[in-house]
Amino acid sequence: MDLALLTEQLLNGVQFGVMLFLMAAGLTLVFGVMGLINLAHGSLYMIGAFFCATVAAATGSFWLGLVASLAGAAAAGAIIEIAVIRRLYDRDHLDQVLATFALILIFSEGTRWVFGSFPLYLDIPAVLQGAVALPGGSQYPVYRLAIIIVGLAIAFGLYLLISGTRLGMRIRAGESDREMIAALGVDIRNLYTVVFALGAALAGFAGAMVGALQSVQVGMGEPVLILAFVVIVIGGIGSIKGALIGSILVGVVDTMGRFLLPEFFELFMPPSQANSVGSALASMAIYILMALILALRPQGLFAARA
C-alpha cells in the first residue's frame, strides 16, 4: 500500500463526508429547531437531482441546472412545510414519521409518474471533467475536488449565517426555547418555513451534485437519508458543527473501512474469505462507530440541547 493510494482514499472519504454534510445539515436544523423527524428529506434530495437533470437537458447548461435544483428543492420544501409539516409540530414523533413516510411514497411515485421508470442522464460540466495529478504521483477526479471545496464553502457560509446574522440568531433561539421566542414576538411560522426551505435547498443541491456523479433515479434519496440520520445522531441533534464533524467522520470511516478491512483480514486469512468477511464488516463499520459514540456520549458529540 503506497502513499498515493492512501491520499486518494482519504480524499474520497472527505468528499463523501462533505456530501453527507449537505444532507445532514438540513436534517439536523429541522430536527433541532422544530423537533421534527423528516423522513422525506431524501425525497428533496431526489427532487433536486431531477430538477437539475431536466433543466440541464433542456438548456444544455449544468450550472443552470444547479440553480434550478436549489430553487426547485427550496420551493418544494416551502410547499411541503406549509401544506403538511406545519400540522405535525404538535404531534408526537410517530405521527411525524408516518406522515413524512407517506410523503416519500407520494414523491417517489409522483416522480416516476412524471419522468418514467428509467434513470435520467446528467453529466459533469466540461470544465470539471477528468482528473488532475496530485502531489505524490496519484490522480484525482476534478469534480470530486470541486465537491470538497464547494461543500466546505457551504459549511463556512452556514457557520456565518448561524453565528452572525439575525436569522441565525432566531434559529439558535428557536433551538433553545421555541415557546419563548414566539412569546417575544418572532413570527415562528415564517421562521419554520424558512428553515425548512433552507434545509430542502441544501438537500436538493447535494442531490444535483451527486446526481452528476451517480444516477438520477427514483428512490436515490433513501440510502443517503439513512446515513444522514447516522451523522446527526453521532454529531448531536441540532448542531451544525456536529453535523460537519459527524459527516466527515462517517465518510472517512466508511471509505477507509471498505478499503482497509479486507486487507487487514488478508493478513491471517485466505483472500476470498478475507474479502467477504472484510466487506461485510466494512458495511457495518459506521454503525459500530455510532454505537460506540452513543455508548460514550449518548447525546452525541456536540449536542445543541444537552
Q: Which is nearer to another protein, 63 or 156 (CB)?
A: 63
Instruction: Please report which helix (H) or strand (E) contains residue 122, including its range.
Output: none
Q: Does residue number 108 form part of the binding site for another protein (CB under 8 A)?
A: yes
Per the document, the length of the chain is: 306
- d(C-alpha 246, C-alpha 235), whole Å: 5
Q: Which is nearer to another protein, 71 or 134 (CB)?
A: 134
Tell me the C-alpha to C-alpha distance, in Å, between residue 48 and each of 23, 71, 109, 121, 210.
12, 9, 16, 14, 10
Q: Does residue number 187 form part of the binding site for another protein (CB under 8 A)?
A: no
Q: Does residue number 262 form part of the binding site for another protein (CB under 8 A)?
A: yes
As given in the structure block, the three cell numbers for residue 113 are 409518474
Q: Does residue number 16 form part of the binding site for another protein (CB under 8 A)?
A: yes
User: What would the x/- binding string for another protein be over residues 202 to 241, using CB under 8 A?
Assistant: --------x-xxxxxxxxx--x------------------
Q: Does residue number 110 form part of the binding site for another protein (CB under 8 A)?
A: no
Please, what is the minimum distance in Å from the beta carbon of residue 144 to another protein?
7
Phi, psi torsion values for 97, nearest 5 degrees = -65, -45
Tell me the C-alpha to C-alpha distance, in Å, between residue 290 and each of 93, 131, 227, 229, 300.
21, 34, 11, 10, 9
Please, what is the minimum distance in Å from the beta carbon of residue 120 to another protein?
6
Task: Tell me which stretch binds another protein (CB under 8 A): 10-18, 31-39, 162-170, 189-197.
Answer: 10-18
Contact between 40 and 100 (Cβ < 8 Å): yes
- d(C-alpha 281, C-alpha 278), whole Å: 5
In sequence order, the β-bridge partners of residue 216 are 120
Instruction: Please report which helix (H) or strand (E) contains residue 140, including its range.
Output: strand 139-141
Task: Tell me which stretch binds another protein (CB under 8 A): 83-91, 200-208, 233-241, 277-285.
Answer: 277-285
User: What would the x/- binding string for another protein be over residues 278 to 297, using CB under 8 A?
Assistant: -xx-xx--------------
Q: Does residue number 276 form part of the binding site for another protein (CB under 8 A)?
A: yes
User: What would the x/- binding string for another protein be over residues 138 to 177, using CB under 8 A?
Assistant: xx-xxxx---------------------------------
- d(C-alpha 237, C-alpha 181), whole Å: 20
Q: Does residue number 123 form part of the binding site for another protein (CB under 8 A)?
A: yes
- d(C-alpha 69, C-alpha 48), whole Å: 4
As given in the structure block, the three cell numbers for residue 245 are 464533524
Q: Does residue number 130 form part of the binding site for another protein (CB under 8 A)?
A: yes
Task: Tell me which stretch binds another protein (CB under 8 A): 1-9, 162-170, 189-197, 289-297.
Answer: 1-9
Q: Does residue number 259 form part of the binding site for another protein (CB under 8 A)?
A: yes
Burial label, 267 (beta-carbon count in 10 A; 0-12, 13-18, 19+): exposed
Binding site for another protein (CB under 8 A): 1-2, 4-5, 8-9, 12, 15-16, 108-109, 112, 117-121, 123-124, 129-131, 138-139, 141-144, 210, 212-220, 223, 255, 258-259, 262, 271-272, 275-276, 279-280, 282-283
